[in-house]
């Protein structure tokens, strides 16, 4: 098949998942063309067979306060469909990609698939400025998927979606994200608690710093490693100074080789207010790390509390600190949780489990 894929090209979960899905489809012999405004983050180093990138040109003009990206994207989609005879479009994150795909379909007749990831449903998607158009474009798609059952239910409740939505969870690469020897670390002979995100407000990185401050004196050989960057970084830095944790909290920014840092860590923590099926969580589990995470969104579909990870109520920082202390001081608990987490990935969250489900959807809408 010849497939056009549209993602946000940065380091957000929807962009990473969409890019990895496209690359895996290309490995299976499909021709994949990414249609977006810059080369996706995951493709910026090296080339992939059967993968091409078609960039969207957005016109800057004094009349426009905000350049009309949706129109430019739809035009580029239509051009690529016609020039390269694409069979279908698959867009990740509904806003504004679903609307652009709908316009391209009206121009070319090409079918399109929409995958809902999280904030395009429960946050932006619910905003009155976007909800009517998003709902229309999603319902007009030839197929709709979401990354958790929770996202499917939220799409029905907040967007009013009435079409069929198929939940297909996210996946990771257990041959890359695996328990392995630590090649390097930011701290010498330190136990590391690690977090990976884009530091958006919804990730609540400040909650993690506050909880870590509660246990820092009790575990003097543990440091907190915050991989990523984003709009809440200044607040995180302020809290680090407030709690006098400058020598215990490391913020190295975005890293391409996240797997190396996960292999060096002893535990992983996610403190989000809302989530779909976060890739950072799956990657940490794949590396065999014990994980502590808030029980929000689709996370309870992945983590069974006490079996393959530990869940805490969102906003309960005392409970968060207690469970972080437990996985960082009880090696038996940490080992059991890490082994179970790795097994969960191998059983449910690998490309060979997930890709056939997408391919079946493609085949059904093309038959």
Residue 25 CA to residue 74 CA, distance in Å, equals: 23
Q: In terms of Cα–Cα distance, which of 2, 321, 298, 318 is closest to 153? A: 298
Both tokens assigned to 16? 């990473």
The CATH architecture to which 191-348 belongs is 3-Layer(aba) Sandwich (3.40)
The CATH architecture to which 2-170+351-366 belongs is 3-Layer(aba) Sandwich (3.40)
What residue spans in the chain does CATH classification 3.40.50.2000 cover?
2-170+351-366, 191-348
- Give 142-197 pLDDT, tens digit per residue: 999 999 999 999 999 888 898 899 999 999 999 999 998 776 654 456 789 999 99
pTM for the model stands at: 0.90
Residue 191 CA to residue 64 CA, distance in Å, equals: 51
No. of helices (H) and no. of strands (E), the chain: 13, 13
What was the pLDDT predicted at 231? Answer: 95
Residue 256 CA to residue 125 CA, distance in Å, equals: 30
Neighbouring-strand partners of residue 3? 32, 88
Mean pLDDT throughout 104-111?
A: 98
Q: In terms of Cα–Cα distance, which of 130, 52, 48, 45 is closest to 93? A: 130
Both tokens assigned to 223? 């440091």
Mean pLDDT throughout 81-95?
A: 96
In b/e form, how buried is each residue of 306-329, taking b as 16+ CB within 10 angstroms? Answer: eebbbbbebeebebbbbbbbbbbe
- DSSP designation for 321: H
What was the pLDDT predicted at 70? Answer: 94
Residue 272 CA to residue 275 CA, distance in Å, equals: 7
């Amino acid at each position: 098949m010849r497939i056009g894929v549209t993602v946000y090209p940065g380091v957000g979960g929807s962009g990473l998942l969409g890019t990895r899905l496209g690359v895996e489809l290309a490995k299976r012999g499909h021709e994949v063309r990414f249609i977006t405004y810059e080369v996706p983050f995951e493709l910026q180093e090296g080339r992939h067979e059967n993968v091409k990138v078609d960039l969207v040109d957005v016109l800057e003009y004094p009349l426009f306060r905000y350049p009309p990206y949706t129109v430019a994207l739809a035009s580029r989609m239509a051009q690529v469909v016609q020039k390269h005879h694409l069979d279908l479009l698959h867009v990740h994150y509904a806003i504004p990609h679903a609307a652009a795909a709908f316009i391209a379909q009206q121009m070319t007749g090409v079918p399109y698939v929409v995958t809902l990831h999280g904030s395009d449903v429960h946050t932006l998607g619910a905003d009155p400025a976007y909800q009517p158009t998003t709902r229309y474009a999603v319902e007009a798609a030839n197929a709709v998927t979401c990354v958790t059952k929770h996202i499917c239910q939220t799409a029905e409740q907040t967007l009013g979606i009435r079409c069929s939505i198929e939940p297909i969870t996210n996946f990771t690469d257990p041959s890359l994200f695996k328990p392995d020897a630590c090649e390097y670390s930011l701290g010498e002979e330190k136990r590391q608690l690690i977090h990976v995100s884009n530091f958006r407000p919804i990730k609540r990185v400040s909650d993690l710093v506050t909880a870590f401050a509660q246990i820092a004196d009790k575990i003097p050989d543990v440091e907190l490693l915050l991989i990523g960057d984003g709009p809440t970084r200044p607040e995180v830095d302020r809290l680090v100074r407030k709690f006098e944790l400058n020598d215990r909290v490391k913020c190295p920014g975005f890293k391409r080789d996240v797997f190396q840092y996960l292999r060096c860590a002893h535990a992983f923590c996610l403190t989000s207010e809302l989530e779909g099926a976060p890739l950072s969580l799956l990657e940490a589990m794949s590396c065999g790390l014990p994980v502590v995470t808030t029980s929000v969104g689709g996370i309870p579909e992945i983590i069974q509390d006490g079996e393959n990870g530990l869940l805490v109520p969102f906003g309960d920082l005392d409970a968060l600190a207690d469970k972080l202390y437990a996985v960082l001081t009880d090696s038996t608990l940490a080992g059991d949780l890490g082994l179970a987490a790795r097994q969960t990935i191998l059983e449910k969250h690998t490309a060979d489990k997930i890709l056939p489900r997408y391919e079946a959807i493609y085949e059904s809408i093309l038959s």
